[in-house]
Amino acid sequence: MRHLAAGVCVITTSAHGGGRFGLTATAVCSVSADPPTLLVCLNNSTTTCKEILESGRFAVNVLAGHDQEIAQVFASPLPPEERFNTGVWDVLETGSPVLNSAVAGFDCLVKDVVQVATHRIILGDIQALRCAGADVSPLLYARGNYGGFLAAESIPLRTTHGSLANLHSAEEAQFLEDGLHWGLF
């Protein structure tokens, strides 16, 4: 899994009694277009997970390449409200914080929650959406680092022939196995 690039999001909520909460997450996935549904996978032990279960609402902010500092702040031990000092935040329909500079913001009501081991899979009914222009690229995370897309023509092509056993390194074999498993190629 560590070889796969993932989009970086900040999942937020606001408590009914006041207070904003949010964390950085890569475990986010689209589920259905009709009705518009997505899911996030949050560790039970996070403050944000507990607050979302309480408030019944959350927003998924898909970070842009220029939002790396926001990703770092929302994965840090800073107190929840202080994290929102970085970035410009707004609300759409549910009252969950939506980031102005993000590639996209999905404002959701909690539809269902599934507990799996240490995590909760939280399904969201999308109530409102905000998108940046197509020229804004997403922030990616892979191998413990943040990054972005390269233009296809700037990536040197490397072809390996034969079976997995002929691959040059364990790393290459793992990369191929991950890609096949996740349907990337």
Ligand X SMILES: Cc1cc2nc3c(=O)[nH]c(=O)nc-3n(C[C@H](O)[C@H](O)[C@H](O)COP(=O)(O)O)c2cc1C
For residue 72, the one-letter residue type is Q
**ω into 156 cis (within 30 of 0):** no
Smallest distance, ligand X to C-beta of residue 12, A: 10
Residues sharing a CB contact under 8 Å with residue 122, sequence separation 6 or more, in sequence order: 39, 40, 41, 42, 49, 52, 53, 58, 110, 112, 113
Residue 22's SS3 state is strand
Closer residue to ligand X (CB): 84 or 141:
141
Q: Is 157 left (phi over 0), alpha (psi -120 to 50) or beta?
A: beta
Smallest distance, ligand X to C-beta of residue 163, A: 34
Closer residue to ligand X (CB): 27 or 167:
27
Closer residue to ligand X (CB): 15 or 176:
15
Smallest distance, ligand X to C-beta of residue 112, A: 17
Closer residue to ligand X (CB): 39 or 98:
39
Residues near ligand X (CB under 6 A) are 8, 23-27, 41-43, 46-48, 75, 80, 141
